[in-house]
């Protein structure tokens, strides 16, 4: 159903009042649900207070440090058993035994530190949960926004022609970045509820909160440097989004290839900057929640998840616009390619997931396994497998056939499932470290809906500001006649 070029006309999207009202309603409904969630969490916590007066600390004790303590004790026992087994087998590999012993010793220090914090740094759980929600949705939607810019940049650098006619959609995601920046700034007052390393005195020798491991990281994890990085990350992202958007719009007016070649150069530089900034964003905003833990692949994992949600968002907006009679030139061939990307990056995400999990599980070193104890063995066990099922098994089987990738109605199913799937993945990355076992879903659903509404408002506004197709892009013709 390739369209003949003569049928092609430059379309505009009008952001009408009805859509605006729907989105505002979504925000309001979301906030109401979220408010209800906050209230329930608050009430639940205080009710626990009243009825179990003498056990009032039980709720508080389910906080991360205590969760960590018990978990670490478990893993410590495991490792100790491991050591005995190794010695029992009279292995000649002295290095291994010694290494294991060292790790046991370190696990002891770890738990000692965790215990040291007991009763030290605690806010109410509902408040922690509230801030964790803001962080979760911030990262989810900022991730989609920066994916949009990154995707467009990659298309330029790779000389890819097929996506040109749909590039205005991911391009417009970038307009959420300034809003995302403001939302991250709003998080600052609540950050100490999320990030344990921001607590007072953690890196001060002699302070009751002192933690040797966190103190060792304070050269990187300290408030001023953290804020500088936050500003730097957004500064770079917003700057490149602005330049690339401007070049793209200029090309619409001027024609020629000048802006095209400029876009290629800008994209190449952006991709380099993106690698560094995303790495820092993943370490700062997500990995430092579980501050004792570390994993070198973590930023690649974050990147892989963000890619899937970005493609999913692109397909979502395309299907939406087509429902309004726009973007009809995007046909099953383009959807096929987008479907292949969702399929491919779901597998890539799983690959990175396995790389991290398998290596940590196999080596079984306490300072690494502590991340997986609540997730794989503890409270989050079910969600842990649900995550793997939704984000790997489902798209893997569902998108296997050619037809599943080519029909927009079958893609809408995958969009709904994976949009939730990668939100859940972030949930599992954030919640165990912040709220321990006191997680829930009501407040979470509310905030997600509200954020969805805000994201929609911003992106639709950006979409309405420019023609939906970059009419002078030198590869537009290839995209309009895309056929596979």
Partner 1 sequence: MIQESAVRPPLVLGDKTYSQMTEDIMKPLETKPNLLWFGAFSIAALVMTMGFALIGYLFVTGTGVWGLNKTVGWAWDITNFVFWVGIGHAGTLISAVLLLFRQKWRTSINRAAEAMTIFAVMCAGIFPVIHTGRPWLAFWMLPLPNVHGSLWVNFNSPLLWDVFAISTYLTVSLVFWYIGLIPDIATVRDRAEGLRKKIYGALAFGWNGSARTWARYEVVCLILAGLSTPLVLSVHTIVSFDFATSVIPGWHTTIFPPYFVAGAIFSGFAMVHTLMILTRSIFKLEEYVTMYHIELMNIVIIITGSVVGLAYGTEFFIAWYSGVEYEQYAFLNRAFGPFAWAYWTMITCNVITPQLFWFNSIRKSAVATFIISIFVNIGMWFERFVIIVTSLHRDYLPSSWAMYSPTFVEIGIFIGTFGLFFTLFLLFAKTLPVIALHEIKTVLKTSGEKYKQAAASRVEKGSAGESPVMPEISLARKPQQETEI
Closest approach, Cβ 27 to partner 1, in A, equals 38
Closest approach, Cβ 266 to partner 1, in A, equals 14
State the CB neighbour count (10 A cutoff) for residue 141: 26
Distance, CA of 287 to chain centre:
11
Our CB check for partner 1 shows the closer of 261 and 385 to be 261
Closest approach, Cβ 295 to partner 1, in A, equals 5
Our CB check for partner 1 shows the closer of 45 and 284 to be 284
- Mask 89-108, x = binds partner 1 (CB under 8 A)? -----xxx-xxx-xx--x--
| Tokens encoding 204 | 């001060």
DSSP string over 220-258: TS-HHHHHHHHHHHHHHHHHHHHHHHHHHHHHHHH-SSH
> Which of 130, 226, 298, 335 is close enough to bind partner 1 by CB under 8 A?
298
Query: What region does 255 belong to: left with phi over 0, alpha with psi -120 to 50, or beta?
Result: left
Rounded to whole angstroms, the Cα distance separating 148 from 307 reads 9
Closest approach, Cβ 109 to partner 1, in A, equals 10
Closest approach, Cβ 256 to partner 1, in A, equals 6
Window contacting partner 1 (CB under 8 A); options: 143-151, 326-334, 354-362, 381-389: 354-362
If one asks whether residue 213 binds partner 1 (CB under 8 A), the answer comes out as yes
If one asks whether residue 22 binds partner 1 (CB under 8 A), the answer comes out as no
Q: Is 122 helix (H, G, I), strand (E, B) or coil?
A: coil
Are 404 and 339 in contact, with CB atoms under 8 Å apart? yes
If one asks whether residue 262 binds partner 1 (CB under 8 A), the answer comes out as no
| Tokens encoding 59 | 């709720």
For 332, phi then psi, to 5°, come to: -60, -20
For 284, phi then psi, to 5°, come to: -70, -50
- Mask 383-422, x = binds partner 1 (CB under 8 A)? ----------------------------------------
Rounded to whole angstroms, the Cα distance separating 167 from 149 reads 10
Are 62 and 438 in contact, with CB atoms under 8 Å apart? yes
Q: Is 65 helix (H, G, I), strand (E, B) or coil?
A: helix
Window contacting partner 1 (CB under 8 A); options: 142-150, 356-364, 383-391, 452-460: 356-364
Window contacting partner 1 (CB under 8 A); options: 190-198, 430-438, 441-449, 476-484: 476-484
Q: Residue 480 carries which DSSP code?
A: H
> Which of 77, 228, 359, 393 is close enough to bind partner 1 by CB under 8 A?
359
If one asks whether residue 159 binds partner 1 (CB under 8 A), the answer comes out as yes
Closest approach, Cβ 429 to partner 1, in A, equals 14
Window contacting partner 1 (CB under 8 A); options: 433-441, 447-455, 456-464, 475-483: 475-483
If one asks whether residue 210 binds partner 1 (CB under 8 A), the answer comes out as no
If one asks whether residue 34 binds partner 1 (CB under 8 A), the answer comes out as no
Rounded to whole angstroms, the Cα distance separating 403 from 339 reads 10
If one asks whether residue 260 binds partner 1 (CB under 8 A), the answer comes out as yes
Q: Residue 483 carries which DSSP code?
A: -
Contacts (Cβ under 8 Å, ≥6 apart) of 381? 375
> Which of 34, 132, 365, 435 is close enough to bind partner 1 by CB under 8 A?
365
Are 449 and 70 in contact, with CB atoms under 8 Å apart? no
Size of the site for partner 1 (CB under 8 A): 60
Closest approach, Cβ 442 to partner 1, in A, equals 34
> If you count them, how many residues does the chain have?
484
Our CB check for partner 1 shows the closer of 45 and 368 to be 368
If one asks whether residue 220 binds partner 1 (CB under 8 A), the answer comes out as yes
DSSP string over 140-206: HHHHHHHHHHHHHHHHHHTT--TTGGGTHHHHHHGGGHHHHHHHHHHHGGGHHHH-GGGSTTTTSTT
Our CB check for partner 1 shows the closer of 6 and 90 to be 6
Question: Interaction with partner 1 in 110-149: which residues (CB under 8 A)?
Answer: none
Are 156 and 243 in contact, with CB atoms under 8 Å apart? no
* Contacting residues toward partner 1, per CB under 8 A: 4-6, 8, 94-96, 98-100, 102-103, 106, 157, 159, 161, 212-213, 216-217, 220, 255-257, 260-261, 272, 275-276, 279, 283, 294-300, 340, 351-352, 355-356, 358-360, 362-363, 365, 367, 471-472, 474-478, 480-481, 484
């Amino acid at each position: 159903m390739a369209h003949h070029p003569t049928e092609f006309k430059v379309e505009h999207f009008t952001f009408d009042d009805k859509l605006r009202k729907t989105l505002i309603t979504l925000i309001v409904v979301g906030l109401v649900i979220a408010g209800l969630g906050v209230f329930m969490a608050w009430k639940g916590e205080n009710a626990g207070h009243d009825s179990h007066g003498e056990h009032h600390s039980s709720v508080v004790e389910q906080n991360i440090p205590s969760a960590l303590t018990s978990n670490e004790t478990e893993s410590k026992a495991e490792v100790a058993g491991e050591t005995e087994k190794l010695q029992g087998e009279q292995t000649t590999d002295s290095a291994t035994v010694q290494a294991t012993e060292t790790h046991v010793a370190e696990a002891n220090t770890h738990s000692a530190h965790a215990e040291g914090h007991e009763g030290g740094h605690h806010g109410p759980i509902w408040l922690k949960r509230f801030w964790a929600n803001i962080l979760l949705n911030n990262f989810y939607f900022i991730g989609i926004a920066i994916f949009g810019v990154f995707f467009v940049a990659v298309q330029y650098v790779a000389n890819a022609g097929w996506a040109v006619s749909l590039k205005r959609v991911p391009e417009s995601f970038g307009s959420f970045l300034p809003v995302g920046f403001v939302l991250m700034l709003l998080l600052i007052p609540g950050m100490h509820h999320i990030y344990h390393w921001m607590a007072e005195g953690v890196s001060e020798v002699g302070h009751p909160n002192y933690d040797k491991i966190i103190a060792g990281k304070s050269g990187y994890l300290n408030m001023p440097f953290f804020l500088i990085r936050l500003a730097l990350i957004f500064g770079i992202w917003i700057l490149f989004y602005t330049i690339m958007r401007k070049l793209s719009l200029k090309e619409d007016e001027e024609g020629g290839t000048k802006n095209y070649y400029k876009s290629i150069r800008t994209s190449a530089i952006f991709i380099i900057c993106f690698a560094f900034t995303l790495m820092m964003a993943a370490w700062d905003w997500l990995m430092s929640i579980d501050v004792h833990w570390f994993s070198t692949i973590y930023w690649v994992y974050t990147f892989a998840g963000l890619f899937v949600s970005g493609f999913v968002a692109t397909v979502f907006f395309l299907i939406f616009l087509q429902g309004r009679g726009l973007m009809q030139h995007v046909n099953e061939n383009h959807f096929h390619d987008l479907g292949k990307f969702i399929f491919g990056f779901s597998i890539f995400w799983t690959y990175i997931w396995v790389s991290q999990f398998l290596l940590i599980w196999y080596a079984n070193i306490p300072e690494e396994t502590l991340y997986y104890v609540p997730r794989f063995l503890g409270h989050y066990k079910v969600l842990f497998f649900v995550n793997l099922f939704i984000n790997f098994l489902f798209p893997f089987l569902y998108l296997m056939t050619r037809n599943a990738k080519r029909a927009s109605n079958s893609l809408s199913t995958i969009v709904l499932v994976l949009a939730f799937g990668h939100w859940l993945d972030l949930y599992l990355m954030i919640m165990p470290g912040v709220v321990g076992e006191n997680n829930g879903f009501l407040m979470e659903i509310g905030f997600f809906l509200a954020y969805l509404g805000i994201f929609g408002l911003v992106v639709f506004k950006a979409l309405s500001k420019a023609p939906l197709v970059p009419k002078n892009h030198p590869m537009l013709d290839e995209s309009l006649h895309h056929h596979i």
